[in-house]
Amino acid sequence: MRSLWIFLFLLTTLESKAAGSNEVNCRFVCLDLSAPPEFILSSAKGVDVKLTVPTNSLSSISHCTPKGGILRVLAANNREVAAVVAMPAKMRSVIIVLVASSRGAVGPAWQAHVIEDSPKNFQDGGVLIANFHNQDIRFTIGKTELELPPLEVRSSPRPSLLDDFNMAAVSTQLQQGSAWTTITETMLRFVPGYRYLIFATTDVDSGRPRILNFHDVKITTQTLEVHNAVPTNHLLCSTNGT
């Protein structure tokens, strides 16, 4: 009997360690202008965890445990699958962006897109740029010009040319035929200790591109402090889960 108890204890310990090794630190943001519904996640122990996803900032960290590389986000009101997150292998810290599916689309109500939350994507004072619109978008940050096709993500260092207030001109343009049409023009402040995000996506109702700029405190191994993002225009980002 004693041997059986020892065996069960060891088995439970191994299962706990296996679950822990599969754990991913997740931060969420919803890129819909309307308030998103409440969601729930299932923990490694099968316990429901309430998930409130902000629309203009990154959420606090949730410890997620994908099963078979898949994380399912459930709607709190009916427990139906609201979003399916295909979690890339070896990623241990991610930002999950929820975007409302197009009207009449078959499947979950939300598309889930994953960005690795790592120093390679978020340089100190630099900017992460992602195009999830269905056309090429040109992003200009200071003197740096980046043309991104759909579903491309790039990282850019802190602009070298800044004014006395650490600000640089930022603009986005949409290609229409052989010409480029300006979508947004603004001035953004780029300060060491912060990381900046610029996303392009498609408005569900109009089909037009939307741009959102916001910043977040730089996360290090010493601090997991969450800083509210500061939106500049309108928001959105991605990498589809199926």
User: pLDDT tens string for the chain (242 positions)?
Assistant: 555 444 444 344 434 444 445 899 999 988 776 667 789 987 656 678 899 898 777 888 999 989 889 999 999 988 999 999 999 988 999 999 888 887 778 889 898 989 999 888 888 899 999 888 889 999 999 999 999 998 888 999 999 889 999 999 999 999 888 899 999 999 999 999 898 989 887 888 888 898 988 888 765 433 333 333 333 333 333 333 33
State pTM to two decimals: 0.76
Q: Could you write out the DSSP letters of every residue in the chain?
A: -HHHHHHHHHHHHHHHHHHHHT-EEEEEEE--SSPPPPEEEE-TTS-EEEE---SSSPPPPEEE--BTTEEEEEETTT--EEEEEE--TT--EEEEEEEEPPTT-SS-SEEEEEEE-STTTS-TT-EEEEE-SSS-EEEEETTEEEEE-TTEEEEEPPPS---TTSEEEEEEEEEETTEEEEEEEEEEE--TTEEEEEEEEE-TTT--EEEEEEEEEPP-SS---------SS------B--
Q: Is the alpha carbon torsion for 16, 17, 22, 25 positive or negative? A: positive
Burial of 97 (0-12, 13-18, 19+ CB in 10 A): buried
Strand partners, 96: 28, 114
CA distance 59 to 159: 27
Tokens of 62: 């949730």
CB contact at 8 A, 146 and 215: no
